[in-house]
Amino acid sequence: MNKDNLKALYRGSDINEVWQSYQNERVIEHPKLGLISPNEYRQSYHGKPCPFCGKKMVHGKANYSTKSRQEAISRGYQYKTQNGKNYINHAGRFPRLYFHPHYVTLDHKVNKARCPELLFEVSNLQIMCWKCNQNKSDNNNFEAEQDYNFVSDLAREALSKYKKL
């Protein structure tokens, strides 16, 4: 992975495509775990508490997702979002998969569309459960509340690159 190539990506869809296609490639240099893929990184948190809500996280599509909405509800996957709506984590369309509320996710502190060169940078990645990630996307102040200084520094740096656009 050449970081100069990442800087040339601007469209959110391009960046997402790169992120998706590298899920099983060893592109993250983790200080303790070594060179690992995004999927291996998530997997290493199976059974561990979410750093934000403290609930035990799970990983593994075979055991913690289902194609059936009814089955998802009967397994207790449905929860209420911060604005009180019933919600089930889901991904894909054909088929749509419904996931356990505390499924492990790998989140970018600085949005990947805003700062693509930090796509695989371990300091810009944080593990959290899907439910917390979902709540985060409802709340633009999440980063500020969690880790204000780190993110504001990165954000300032990222935004300064876009002044000329």
Binding site for Zn ion (CB under 5 A): 50, 52-53, 129, 132
* Cβ pair 131, 142 in contact under 8 A: no
Smallest separation (angstroms) from Zn ion to the CB of 81: 13
Smallest separation (angstroms) from Zn ion to the CB of 14: 29
Of 100 and 112, nearer to Zn ion (C-beta) is 100
- Spell 4-43 as b/e; 16+ CB within 10 A means b: eebeebeeeeebeebbeebeeebbbeeeeeeebbbebbbe
Q: How far is CA 63 from CA 46, 99, 135, in A?
A: 12, 9, 24
Contacts of 152 (CB under 8 A, 6+ apart): 144
Smallest separation (angstroms) from Zn ion to the CB of 28: 21
Of 53 and 125, nearer to Zn ion (C-beta) is 53
Structure tokens at 63: 């055991």
Of 119 and 129, nearer to Zn ion (C-beta) is 129
Of 9 and 89, nearer to Zn ion (C-beta) is 89
Smallest separation (angstroms) from Zn ion to the CB of 117: 28
Smallest separation (angstroms) from Zn ion to the CB of 50: 3
* Cβ pair 90, 97 in contact under 8 A: yes
Of 52 and 142, nearer to Zn ion (C-beta) is 52
